[in-house]
Structures are given as structure tokens and as C-alpha cells.
Chain A
Amino acid sequence: MANLSISSIRERIFNTTKHEQTVARSSNPFAQSSFKGNVLTADVFESSKSKENQPSFAGRIASVPAKSKLYLSAMVGSINNFGNKISEKLHAGIESVNAFCKRMSDNVSNFWSTMKNTEVRFDFMDNIKDAMRPGIRKNDIAKMDLSSDEVYNSVHELFSSKANAWAEAMA
């Protein structure tokens, strides 16, 4: 049962410095408490902060046998080599990115230079222009009186001239 005498309570309330110093010396939260008259004087609690804050790797290395240290040094060396390889690969990657960007830049510039020297034509525009242009209509030919020599000769001449123009274009 806790010591709840008036003097102890007064000491706790008005003399806090003393109380805090007592707490600071020990991590035992029950140092000032008694259990059925027995006070826990020994610090039976292990501080968790000590484990967290202290790096344990060096200590573990120190405890490693000499033979194992060779393996570890080899491992560290390989880690260094690995780092160098990563660096090389990274450097090569950067170089390849540079080459890629340069190639893309060249392609874009080539595309624009090609476009400048390329005449863009639309076939359907030609067809529309042909349709708009007055030409020989089959219905006109179909209605012509070919029994007349004059008409026959004019159509014959027209047909021949167009056929010859086609033949010359193919030659």
C-alpha cells in the first residue's frame, strides 16, 4: 500500500526537484512505491531506449570470428563493385537517353525538312476540279447523228486526238 502520510504528500507537492531527481536516477517507476511495505530498490526494468539508440552492427561485427570477417570484407567489396556497376549502367542509361533525345530531335528536324520539300496533293480535289471542268459528255456523243459525214468526222477526229494523247502520255 502506498505511503500516503501528510509529510510525504507535502514533500511531493512542494519539493518537486527532489522528487524528479529521484526519478531521474532510476528508470523504475515503482521506486517510490512500496508493495506491502517492500520498496523496489533495484532497477529491474531494462530501458528500451538504449537498444534503439545504440547501433548494434559494430558490436555484432566485433563478435564475428576472423574467418567470417574475410567473407564480410568480400561481401563489402562486392557491394562496392555492385555500386560501381550501377553507376556505370546509370551513366550508360543517361548516355542512351541523350542519344535517344538527339535522334528524336534529328527525326523531327528531318520530318520538317521533308515536309517543306513535299508537295501535298489531294486526289479528291483533282476529281472535284475535273468534275467542275467542262468536258466531253457521253450523252452528247450518244445523241449525235453519225449518219452525217460532218458529225461523224468531227467525232472521229475528237476520239482519235484523245486516244493519241493517251498513247503519247503512256509512251
Chain B
Amino acid sequence: MVDKRTEKDVSNIIEGLRINQDPRSIEMLEDVGTNSSVDAIRELTSRALVKKNQHDSLKVVIANKGKGINDMSTVVAMSTINELLSLEDKSEAIRILEDTVNMHSDEEVRDNARSVKALMALS
């Protein structure tokens, strides 16, 4: 069982990187957060990347196999989709979803992107 101090530290680092406007914050979140073996860290990271609502950050959670909406963990995938649906400005996310549906090489990633795009159109 993880202690609360570690949990809080990781949460603060991810939240700090979300607020940080430097493009390299996305790189760090992808490198450390989305590749973590801990579901909770991947979930926090995916949500932070969606909240950034930038092209590069959204691309990480939409068009990458095994990350964000394509994560193996249902909790992580659903949490990311829920965060996408909560965006006030969904234009960039829909644009990336369309590109993924039309151009991604992996069929599963395309199907997921199609489903999320349909959900976002309804919301």
C-alpha cells in the first residue's frame, strides 16, 4: 500500500506539469506518466494531458496504442474519455480524433477514436 506522501508528491508533480506551459512538460508526462506500471499514475497523467488541451498532449492520449483512450485498463480509458467529454473547447480533440480515424494504421485505435468521436458529437 502506497503511503499518502508519495501519492501526494506524484499528484503534485503531474498537476504542476499540467500547469507548466513549456512543451517539454508534455514530453515528460508521456515519458514517465503514461509509461508507468501504476494504473492510478497513468490515469492522473492522461487526465492532465487532456486538460492541457493542446495538439501534442491530446495526440498522446488519442492516437497512441496503449495510452489514454486506448489504455489496457478500462478505468484509465474511461477516465480519459470522460475528461475529453468534459472539455469546454472540443475542437482540437475532434480534429485529432478525425485524423486518427482516417489515417491511423492500427484498426483498434481507429475504432476507439471513432467511438469517442461519436460520443463527443452527442455531448
Chain A interface residues (CB < 8 Å from chain B): 126-127, 130, 133, 135-147, 152, 155-156, 158-160, 162-163, 165-167, 169-170
Chain B interface mostly: helix
Q: Which residue of B lies closest to A156 (CB)?
A: B28
Q: How far is the CA of A140 from the CA of B15 in the complex (A)?
A: 11
Chain B interface residues (CB < 8 Å from chain A): 1-10, 12-13, 15-17, 19-20, 22, 24-25, 28, 31-33, 36-38, 40-41
Residues of B within 8 A of A163 (CB): 10, 32-33, 36, 38, 41
Q: Are A133 and B22 in contact (CB-based, < 8 A)?
A: no
Q: Are A138 and B7 in contact (CB-based, < 8 A)?
A: no
Q: Are B32 and A146 in contact (CB-based, < 8 A)?
A: no
Partner of A167, one of B13, B15, B28, B38: B38
14 CB < 8 A contacts A-B = A126-B4, A127-B4, A135-B5, A136-B12, A138-B12, A138-B13, A141-B16, A141-B19, A144-B22, A146-B24, A147-B24, A159-B10, A160-B32, A163-B10
A146 with B20, Cβ < 8 A, contacts A136-B13, A141-B13, A169-B1 known: yes
Chain A interface mostly: helix
Partner of B9, one of A156, A162, A169: A162
Residues of A within 8 A of B37 (CB): 167
Q: Are B16 and A170 in contact (CB-based, < 8 A)?
A: no
Q: Which residue of A lies closest to B11 (CB)?
A: A138
Q: Are A170 and B20 in contact (CB-based, < 8 A)?
A: no
Residues of A within 8 A of B25 (CB): 146
Q: Are A155 and B13 in contact (CB-based, < 8 A)?
A: yes
Q: How far is the CA of A155 from the CA of B40 in the complex (A)?
A: 20
Residues of B within 8 A of A162 (CB): 6, 9-10, 13
Residues of B within 8 A of A156 (CB): 28, 31-32
Q: Are B5 and A130 in contact (CB-based, < 8 A)?
A: yes
Report B28 CB to chain A, min CB distance, Å: 6
Q: Are A170 and B2 in contact (CB-based, < 8 A)?
A: yes
Report B25 CB to chain A, min CB distance, Å: 6
Q: How far is the CA of A137 from the CA of B16 in the complex (A)?
A: 8
Report A79 CB to chain B, min CB distance, Å: 71
Q: Which residue of A lies closest to B22 (CB)?
A: A146
Residues of B within 8 A of A169 (CB): 1-3, 6
Q: Which residue of A lies closest to B2 (CB)?
A: A169
Report A169 CB to chain B, min CB distance, Å: 4
Report B39 CB to chain A, min CB distance, Å: 9
Q: How far is the CA of A166 from the CA of B4 in the complex (A)?
A: 10
18 additional contacts (CB under 8 A) given A126-B4, A162-B13, A169-B3: A127-B4, A130-B5, A133-B5, A135-B9, A138-B13, A140-B16, A141-B15, A144-B20, A144-B22, A146-B22, A152-B24, A152-B28, A156-B31, A159-B17, A167-B36, A167-B38, A169-B2, A170-B1
